[in-house]
Every structure is written in C-alpha cells, then in structure tokens.
Chains A and B, each alone.
Chain A
Amino acid sequence: MPAPFILDRSSVTQVMAWVLAALLPGIATYVWLFGPGILVTLALATVTALAGEAAMLKARGYPAKPFLFDLSAVVTAWLLALSLPALAPWWLIVTGTLFAIVVAKHLYGGLGQNIFNPAMVGYAVLIVSFPLQMTHWPGPLSLSETPLSLVQSASVIFGGAFPKATLDAVTMATPLDALRTGLLQQLTVDEIMVQPIFGHYGGVGFEWLATAFLLGGLLLWALRIISWQVPLAFLAGIWLAAGFLHFFDAGRFGAPWFHLFAPSVMLGAFFIATDPVSGATTPRGRLIFGFGAGLITIIIRTWGGYPDGVAFAILLMNLCVPLIDQYTQPPVYGEDQRRSKAPPA
C-alpha cells in the first residue's frame, strides 16, 4: 500500500449529495410557485436514471454498488428534470434521461469520462426532436385559473392524450417564449413586458425560482464544491452581452436583469456549467469557459432558433474544454519569475 495512508473524509457521493441538497431550495420554490408537478418529473427521471445506470454498469462489467451509490446519475436526472417543462409527457422524460445516462455518460466511458454534460445532451436531444412537447410549462400558480394537484399532474404526465383545451389552460408560455414571440410579431420589449407573465425583473414566479437556484449555488460555492470563476463569468457573460445589446436598442433586446433571472441561467451557471467532468479545470480556463457560455446563451436567445440557449451554449463550451485547458495552464511553483528571482548581487 502506497502513501499517503490517511484520507480526507470527502467522497464522490458526498460531493454529489451536496449538489442535490443545494437544489432543494429551488425545488421547494418550484413546488410552491408552480405546483407539485415537478416532483413527479423528478421522481420519474431519478428512477429512469438509476435503472439506466444499473443496466449500463452491468453491460460494461462494472460493479453496481459503488457507482449506483455515487449519486452522479441522480444529479444528472435532477438537472435534466429541472430543465424540462414540469408537465412534459412521461416518455419525453424517460427518453431524455436514458439518452443522458446511456449515450452521453456511459457510451463515452462512464463517470468522469463524458466530454459533454449528460443532462444537457438529454435536453438538447429532446428540444431538437420534440419541440412541441417541450413547451408544456405550467404557468405560475398566481396566474393559473386551475392549479393542478400532485395526482392531476401525474395524470397529465402519464395520461398520454390529454384534452388540448385543458392542457392549454394549465400550460403557459415562459417569459422567454413570450419575449421571443412578441419580438417576432414586431412588438417592442416594453410592449411585450406588459403581459402578466413578466414580473419585477424576470418572469412572475420564474424570478423567484432563479433566486432560489442562486442561493443553492452560493451554498455550493461556500462549501468549495464549485469554484467562483465559472458562475461569475457565466453571469458576467450574460449580463454584458445582454446589456450591450439592450444599451443600443432597448426596444428590440431584453434587459440584462431579465436575461439573468431566467431560471435556466442560474441553474446553468451554478449547477451545470460547474460540472467538473465536462468543464474547464484551470482558473483562467474556467473564466473563459463561463464567459463563453454566457455569451453564446445570449446569442442563441437573440438570433437563434430557440427561445433559450443555455444548454447549447454549455455543450458548445464543453467542446472547447481540452483546448482551453491546454492554453491556460497556470505557472507551477518556481516558474513565476517575479516570485523566484535571484537575490541582488
């Protein structure tokens, strides 16, 4: 047995458990403001992810116990579930989760080997393949005439063919969708923002959800589970790009605060872009990675074909990680000329 013979008490399971714990404020806020439907989605994604993980571990000849209990599959499931519309049909959730676990994680070599964030791959596959079902967002309870109970939500998710009238009554365009649709209709941002879905600086309900994710993210930072560079650079990228556009034409481009407080941004900045496996590892690299993701998010939101771009932005930056890491290697001990100069003769 080689040295060292003692270990810190940390473990992969512990890291993942903290990530899950940090998502709890967001999930609680979600339930409070949008109804309990998300709990069904979370549960279904978790079960699917664990089943997919177990099957792939068996197929690849890995021991099930340490890997199933490392909770990494649960983290992937929760991140995907929180990115999906809470009233998306069950098969959408299952397809996305299986794609994330089987293809994006295990076919790339399993834990630690995937170059792309699995949850974001799952999300990207779904939004490209099933754009209609990906709009089944429940409206905020405060704006909804018929809030769904847990059982009702489950029957929507598992019910398959749901009466269109009812579905329209409970789902609602997200603020980003509303902005996009409005802009396509040649409305100005100010005209769009009078709709009831828009709140103080984000969407009604959505802004609080974003704030809850932010709080969870700050917890992870305080615990040193995530670095400060990625989230800060990501938010800075969003804020600067959106602010730049908004400054030049406030009528055609949303305000930076509005862009910042979309829940996907806070979830992306603190929980997804900070995924260590698929993210940059050097301090400067993390700044570049986060800033790039923020910038691309705004570009996609503004000129792309989708109302939101966080997932694609993170996947695109995942691609750049090897190059970023290679070119941002920090100096090692004794390499920094300023700190290792010879004494004056």
Chain B
Amino acid sequence: MSRELFTFKGGVHPPEHKSESNARPVHASPLPAKLVIPLRQHIGNPAKPVVGVGDRVLKGQMIGAADGYISVAVHASSSGTVTAIGPAAVPHISGLPDECITIETDGLDEWIEHAPLDYQAMAPADLRMRLRDLGLAGLGGAVFPSAVKLGTAQACPTLIINGGECEPWITCDDVLMRHHAAEILQGAAVMRHMLGSTEVVVGIEDNKPEAIAAMQAAARTLDFAVEVVAVPAIYPAGGAKQLIEILTGKQVPSGRLSTDIGIQVFNVGTAHALARAVHHGEPLISRLVTVSGHVLRPQNVEALIGTPILTLIAVAGDRDGTTGVLMGGPMMGMPMPDLAVPVVKATNCLLVQSAHLFPPLPPAMPCIRCTRCADACPAELQPQELFRFAKTGDFGRAQEYHLFDCIECGCCSYVCPSHIPLVDFYRYAKSEIWAREKEKRAADLARERHEFRQFRLEREKKEKAEKLAARAQAKRAELAATPAEGAAPSDADAKKALIAAALARAQAKKADAAPKNIDHLPPGTQREIEDIEARRAKIRELAHKPLESDKKP
C-alpha cells in the first residue's frame, strides 16, 4: 500500500543528531525528594488547586482541577505531602515564576485508585470531561487540551498521528514508537472512535526506520486499517500543517482549523497518553524526555511531571563546559533560566549546550533581501518584508503581510546569511500587536464611558433648558392672555412677572417642605414633637454660645 505524497514549500535540513540518543535503553528518572507541579502547563486557563498545604496526596490524585472548557487538570506524580502552593520557577520563555504545587514525596509511590474507562459505552461529552480531568494535553509541543480537539462539531474523516519529530536532537517520539507502538495505536483507536474518522494515517519521517517498522507491525494486528507512511525528512515536516500537506496535499485555510477540512492531528505521545488514560485510568503524570547534547550518555528518560530537570541531566551524566540547557530542540526550544525548573507536559527534550556544539551565533548584519528566508519559509511568507515592518514598527503592514501565519519554526533565521534573529522580531511584533490591541480595547472602553457620560450630562442639561424654556413660554403666554394695564407688556414686565412667579413657586415649595401631617395628632405624639422642638431649640442655643475653651486661649 503506497500513498501519494505531496511536498510543502520551504523547509530546511539541519544536521539531525538523532543517533546520539535514540539507541540507548529508556531509564526511569529517580524519584525526586520534591516535585514541583505547575498549574499552567497547557494552553488555556490554569488549573485551580483542590488540595491544601499539609494534605497527603497519592500518585495520580488530582491536585488542580480544570478551570473551564479550555483547561486540563494536573495531578500528583507521586505520593507525598503538599508543602507549598504558590509561585515557583517554571520552564517559560519569560523566566517568570508561576503558580505551582510543591509535593514532598514519601518514597512509597502509592497510587490512587484508578480504573479503565469503558469509552465505547460512555457519552462523548462525559468521556471528554474524564479526559480533561485526567490531564490530557498535546505532547507534541503545543500542549493544547486534547478533550477540546476530540470534541469536533462535525465528523473528522481523516485522523493523522504525527510521528514526524523533525527537530534535530529530539528522539522521544522515535523511542516511544519503537517500544510502545501497540499502545499508540490503541490511543489512535479511541481518537478514531471519538472523531468518527474513517481513515487513520501515521506520518513518520523516513530517518526513523525502526519506528516505522514497529508501527507497521502493530498496525497489522488491528481490526481497522492504519496507514503508516514514511515521509521525507525535512524540517518542519512534523509541523501539523506541513504533515497534513505532505499526506493529503491539502492546506489548512489561513486562519482556520484543520478540522474545517476534515482532518485532526495528534502527536504519538498524546495517543500513547490517551491509551494509558482510557485502558488504565492513569492521568498524565509522566512522559518520555530526550536528554541529549553535551552529556555523557544521551538518552531518553521516563520522567515524572514535576521532576527538576537537573535530575534528568544527572541521569544522562552532566559534563564540564555546559553553557546552558534548552527545553525543546535547537530550532524552537527555549533556554532554561534555572536547572531547578520542573519537567512539564511540554518537555520533550532537554538539550544541554556546550560552546563546541552550540557556538555563539555571529553578530547580525543588515538584511540584503536575498530572500533565502522566503525560500525556506513553510508558511510561504515573505520574511524579509515582515522583518522590515517589525523593525520599523509598522505593525499594521506586518499584519497585512500575514505575520500571524508565522509558525515560528525558525527556518528563516537558520538560513539567513546575515544571521538576523528573524523569529525574535516576529515574536516582538506579535506581542506588540497583542499589547496594543489590549490597550486599544481598554482605551475604547474608557472612551465609550466618557462619551456616554458627556452625552448624559448634555442630555440632562438640554432637558432642563427645554423644561425651563417651556415653562417660561407658558408664563409669557399667561401674561399675554391677561389684559394688560397699559400697553403690551414690556420685556421688563415679563421679567418681573417671571420673578414673581418664581417667588410664588419658592414659597409654595417651602410650604411643601414644612412638616406635614401635624394636624389631628394624638396628644402623645404632639407632646413628643414639642419635646423634640424644645431640644432642638436648646441645641441651637448651645451652638451659638462660645465654648469655654475658646474663651481662654
């Protein structure tokens, strides 16, 4: 069975560096004394803590509940005691701390009770809620809540399982496919059930022959057809949109979702985690992490979420001359501010840097518009123009030139002969645009409020003026109607009459304000009133008398 493959435009082929880590056996990382579990590991709302400091928690126990539809739960990766809930260092590009739950492990690794889900019997919505509560999020990098992706409005004929893993150095998906092919396809079966897919395709880059063989062997044992396809190794073939184009020849329309063209894509790691969740009831509390680069024994490690990355690097053997650690690959990874930060659901790779493996990048030169970036861009953008607009602060033009279609894959920066950190400029432009839109919304709101207040004041003033004018008109008409003593009433007379009328009104008002209902009072009440009046008179008197202290300075 062979499938017609298509190509996507652009892409690069950096040195792969896969063989360093993909041949060694997988080890489990040792249980750390402390697990730090961030409440925000996924796209969407951070989880809300459901345990308190001092609580004993079991392995797999939910410690943070999903908050809303686009959110997932987080769980204790081992048994122990909650020692802190609050900001701690997390692996984030900003380097800022975020809310975490810290658990001191007790070494028992005691599981909470858990049972498989009968997914075929469950109502789809219930099943999705269960998966959300089991903490399932995409393990390919974006960490989008899986339950949301599995709840499409319309049926999704094509399900693609992404085993592309195109970033250099990273081999966790490769190793997972070699050792857990059957479970990955069990996960795919659940996805197929939930999405109503008729076609299941696994795309794997052709530089992973062992993984392809393992997946093909596992696919033959299934009762539905799964096509395992080797795709040419070119970065970023593992990007969802690029893999879709390679396998189907279709492009996801700009600004829309792949489900709009009937395709949904999941990473192999996500499929595996789904199988563990459905068939064992296990929440997402561990994952495979590639530890490679400047270490003694580059390898893949089965790591509990919340384990400090330092522990994993120690497993692989840290070396002198380390210049930094990246989470992710060299194309899209981010530098870790601190080696105490925990492994999170997105941690696919820890790449230890040295001056030899990752020499400092040469200084940037001016752009010479050679358009190598445009040739390399898989989003088919004109990066040199976006760079120009971003640099000059012309963010409107940058948006017109589809800045937000940029997937930040880094191909443009990789090929740039002027060594310009192009992706950085795009991130900067995007964040500026977001910040401005936020500011604009706030300003719009304030302006609307102000304008409404102005409008209200104007309206009130106008109404008052109209009322007065109408009343004056009526008065004038009244005066005109009464026979004048002399000639026609002059303006002065009219004014006098108005003043008189106003006085009369004031008089009447005063009368209105005078105490009412004082006639026919019962004698008791009458006396009370008199008493009160007397007290008031006394107070008034006292108030007018100078105080003793005032007399003697």
Contacts and interface: CB of A to CB of B under 8 A. Distances in A.
Interface of A: 1-8, 10-12, 14-15, 66-67, 70, 72, 110-113, 224, 227, 276-277, 279, 281-282, 325, 329-336, 339-343
12 contacts: A3-B331, A4-B330, A5-B330, A6-B331, A111-B368, A281-B374, A281-B384, A281-B385, A333-B381, A334-B252, A335-B254, A340-B252
B421 A333 contact: no
Given A3-B334, A11-B362, A339-B251, A332 B381 contact: yes
A281 B371 contact: yes
Contact of B363 (A66, A112, A227): A66
Given A11-B417, A329-B401, A334-B256, A2 B423 contact: yes
A119 B238 CA distance: 45
Nearest to B375: A224
B506 interface: no
Nearest to B405: A332
A263 B38 CA distance: 68
A332 B427 contact: no
Q: Which of B8, B261, B413, B417 has the most CB of A within 10 A?
A: B417
Given A3-B331, A334-B256, 16 more contacts: A4-B331, A4-B332, A4-B410, A4-B414, A5-B358, A7-B413, A8-B14, A8-B415, A15-B368, A281-B369, A332-B380, A333-B379, A335-B380, A339-B250, A340-B261, A343-B262
Given A2-B427, A5-B358, A10 B417 contact: yes
A66 B365 contact: yes
B133 to A, nearest CB: 33
Contacts of A12: 365, 368, 417-418
Contacts of B414: 4, 6-8
B253 A334 contact: yes
B546 interface: no
Nearest to B335: A1
Contacts of A333: 8-9, 241, 251-252, 254, 378-381, 405
Contacts of B245: 339
B405 A276 contact: no
B352 to A, nearest CB: 12
Contacts of A330: 380, 382
Contact of B382 (A11, A70, A329): A329
Contacts of A325: 385
Contacts of B261: 340-343
B251 A15 contact: no
From DSSP, what is the main secondary structure of chain A's interface residues? loop
A282 B401 CA distance: 13
Nearest to A336: B251
Interface of B: 8-9, 12, 14-15, 157, 168, 241, 245, 249-256, 260-262, 324, 326, 328, 330-335, 353, 358, 361-363, 365-372, 374-375, 378-382, 384-385, 401-402, 405, 408, 410, 413-419, 421, 423-424, 427
Contacts of B168: 6
A340 B417 contact: no
Given A281-B384, A334-B256, A340 B362 contact: no
A10 B380 contact: no
Pick from B251, B334, B353, B381 the residue with the most CB of A within 10 Å. B251
A336 B328 CA distance: 32
Nearest to A15: B417
Given A3-B333, A3-B410, A331-B380, A111 B370 contact: no
Contacts of A335: 253-254, 380, 402
B197 to A, nearest CB: 12
A331 B374 CA distance: 12
Contacts of B249: 339
A7 B157 contact: no
A233 B331 CA distance: 36
Contact of A332 (B324, B363, B379, B410): B379
A311 B214 CA distance: 63
A5 B415 contact: no
A6 B330 contact: yes
A333 B358 CA distance: 31
In order of increasing CB-CB distance, the 5 nearest A-B pairs are: A112-B366, A4-B410, A334-B254, A340-B251, A343-B262
Contacts of A15: 368, 370, 417
A10 to B, nearest CB: 4
A340 B423 contact: no
Contacts of B381: 332-333
Contacts of B250: 339-341
Contacts of A2: 421, 423-424, 427
Nearest to A63: B363
A333 B415 CA distance: 19
A111 B366 contact: yes
A7 B417 CA distance: 9
Contacts of B379: 332-333
B79 to A, nearest CB: 37
Given A332-B380, A333-B251, A8 B371 contact: no
A178 B445 CA distance: 75
Given A276-B368, A333-B254, A11 B419 contact: yes
A24 B262 CA distance: 56
Contacts of A332: 254, 379-381, 402, 405
Nearest to A111: B366
B239 to A, nearest CB: 10
A20 to B, nearest CB: 15
A4 B326 contact: no
B367 to A, nearest CB: 5
B369 A112 contact: yes
Contacts of A331: 380
A200 to B, nearest CB: 36
Max chain A Cβ within 10 angstroms of own Cβ: one of B333, B361, B415:
B361
Contacts of B252: 333-334, 340
A10 B372 contact: yes
A110 B366 contact: yes
A216 B300 CA distance: 49
A112 B367 CA distance: 6
Contacts of B371: 227, 276, 281
Contacts of B255: 334
B378 to A, nearest CB: 7
A14 B251 contact: no
Contacts of A279: 369
Given A7-B414, A340-B253, A334 B405 contact: yes
B106 to A, nearest CB: 39
Contact of B358 (A6, A110, A113, A343): A6
A111 B367 CA distance: 8
B16 to A, nearest CB: 11
A7 B15 CA distance: 10
Given A113-B366, A334-B241, A341-B261, A1 B12 contact: no
B92 to A, nearest CB: 14
A333 B377 CA distance: 10
A277 B366 CA distance: 10
Contact of A342 (B12, B262, B361, B416): B262
B337 to A, nearest CB: 12
Nearest to B6: A339
Contacts of B15: 6
Nearest to B378: A333
Contacts of B260: 342
Contacts of B385: 281, 325
Contacts of A72: 368
Nearest to B334: A3
Contact of A5 (B256, B326, B402, B418): B326
Residue of B245, B365, B370, B372 with most chain A CB atoms under a 10 A cut-off = B370
A30 B273 CA distance: 69
B206 to A, nearest CB: 22
A7 B330 CA distance: 10
A227 B241 CA distance: 27
Interface centre among A4, A277, A282 (most CB of B within 10 A): A4
B234 to A, nearest CB: 14
